[in-house]
């Protein structure tokens, strides 16, 4: 990029698990014709790879080495549909969506060297005409210079219900009460970790999506970009 070039715009969409970030980010990216970064999938892929390698998730040095050597490829099917996540050559699209992988992702995400090792990979998604970046620290750390920032929230009960529906549709055996407990535990860990804790950027627009239909959330988020 030359000095006169404007930086590629980024819309950072952060929020806790089940706040609707995934769906909203996908629809907004499609509407704007921008690229999409699902940063949670990257953390999940590393959690998955570490689990497959039998690494103790509290062993920071081993998990960091694993992060540096794990090959993560996003493959969008030509006919549309869900993007596949290939981890070290294995299609782990479904495996990384389990709550076990979510918990593993959250455990490795507290390690500062892991977060640092993933910065370049995440930033490499910033390509013209723009990027919608979905995560926990998109607006605060990875794309702190993003011109557009949104923080999505919803009550823990509503987020657990949404997750329940998603996982059931995938045929996974889960109960609502277990999911609620897991979501609360994950939120607590994500919000209280020392590095890049889950919190809204000071310049983020906060949208509480409790009881709000997807179309309305999409309209609110698009308005942040279009009214700027």
Judged by the rule CB under 6 A, the positions of this chain that interact with ligand C5P are 17, 39-40, 43-44, 102, 105-106, 109, 135-137, 186, 190
Q: Which is nearer to ligand C5P, 185 or 206 (CB)?
A: 185
Q: Which is nearer to ligand C5P, 88 or 100 (CB)?
A: 100
CB of 189 to ligand C5P, least distance (A): 7
Closest Cα partner for 96 from 25, 22, 11? 22
3-state secondary structure 47-90: HHHHHHCCCCCCCHHHHHHHHHHCCEEEECCCCCCCCEEEECCE
Q: Which is nearer to ligand C5P, 3 or 194 (CB)?
A: 194
d(CA 68, CA 58): 16
Structural tokens at position 132: 């919608």
Three-class secondary structure of residue 31 per DSSP: helix
Closest Cα partner for 76 from 122, 30, 19, 117? 30
CB of 68 to ligand C5P, least distance (A): 17
Q: Which is nearer to ligand C5P, 170 or 223 (CB)?
A: 170
Cβ atoms 169, 160 nearer than 8 A: no
Closest Cα partner for 96 from 78, 113, 115, 83? 83
CB of 82 to ligand C5P, least distance (A): 14
Cβ atoms 100, 173 nearer than 8 A: no
Cβ atoms 127, 6 nearer than 8 A: no
Q: Which is nearer to ligand C5P, 32 or 111 (CB)?
A: 111
Residues 6+ apart with CB under 8 A from 140: 14, 196, 199, 201
CB of 145 to ligand C5P, least distance (A): 16
CB of 5 to ligand C5P, least distance (A): 26
Q: Which is nearer to ligand C5P, 158 or 190 (CB)?
A: 190
CB of 3 to ligand C5P, least distance (A): 30
Residue nearest ligand C5P, CB atom distance: 40
């Amino acid at each position: 990029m030359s000095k006169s070039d404007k930086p590629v715009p980024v819309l950072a969409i952060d929020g806790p698990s089940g706040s609707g970030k995934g769906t909203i980010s996908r629809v907004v990216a499609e509407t704007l014709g921008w690229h999409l970064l699902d940063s949670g999938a990257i953390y999940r892929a590393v959690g998955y790879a570490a689990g497959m390698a039998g690494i103790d998730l509290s062993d920071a040095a081993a998990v960091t080495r694993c992060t540096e050597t794990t090959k993560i490829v996003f493959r969008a099917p030509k006919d549309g549909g869900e993007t596949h996540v290939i981890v070290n050559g294995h299609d782990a699209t479904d495996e990384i969506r389990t709550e076990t992988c979510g918990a593993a992702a959250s455990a490795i995400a507290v390690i500062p060297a892991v977060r640092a090792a993933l910065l370049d990979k995440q930033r490499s998604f910033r390509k013209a005409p723009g990027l919608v970046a979905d995560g926990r620290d998109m607006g605060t750390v990875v794309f702190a210079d993003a011109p557009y920032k949104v923080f999505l929230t919803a009550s823990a009960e509503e987020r657990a219900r949404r997750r329940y529906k998603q996982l059931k549709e995938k045929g996974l055996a889960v109960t609502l009460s277990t999911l609620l407990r897991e979501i609360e535990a994950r939120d607590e860990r994500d919000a209280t970790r020392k590095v890049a804790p889950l919190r809204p950027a000071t310049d983020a627009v906060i949208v509480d999506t409790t009881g709000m239909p997807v179309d309305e959330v999409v309209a609110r988020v698009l308005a942040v970009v279009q009214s700027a």
